Amino acid sequence: MKTIDLAEQSLSVDDLLSIARSESVLIQTKEGTKFVLEEADDFDREIQTLGESERFLKFLEERAVEKGVVSIERFAEGLAE
């Protein structure tokens, strides 16, 4: 990852994009805020698309509901019945 400190050098957006085509770029502003610039791939686009899907988010909510835990003793009692 290449680091660009904008307090030390000024680059155009085109220059930054040119660098990001070959490697990730860590950009630090004059104020110290940091950003990462890198080429988006199909996986990145898929993540964004799924993140905007109400149907997928509902599916994740349903999956996130924790099921109750059953002790081994309680499980064994259920088998004996």
CA atoms of 70 and 77, how far apart (whole Å):
11
**Statement to judge: residues 27 and 8 lie in one domain:** yes
**Statement to judge: residues 32 and 47 lie in one domain:** no
**Statement to judge: residues 33 and 46 lie in one domain:** no
* Number of structural domains the chain divides into: 2
pLDDT 10s digit of each residue in the chain, 81 long? 999 999 999 999 999 999 999 999 999 999 999 999 998 888 888 888 898 999 999 988 888 876 777 788 888 888 877
CATH number for 28? 3.40.1620
pLDDT given at position 73: 86
pLDDT given at position 11: 94
11-37 burial, b if ≥16 CB within 10 A, otherwise e? eeeeebeebbeeeebebeeeeeeeeeb
pLDDT given at position 64: 81
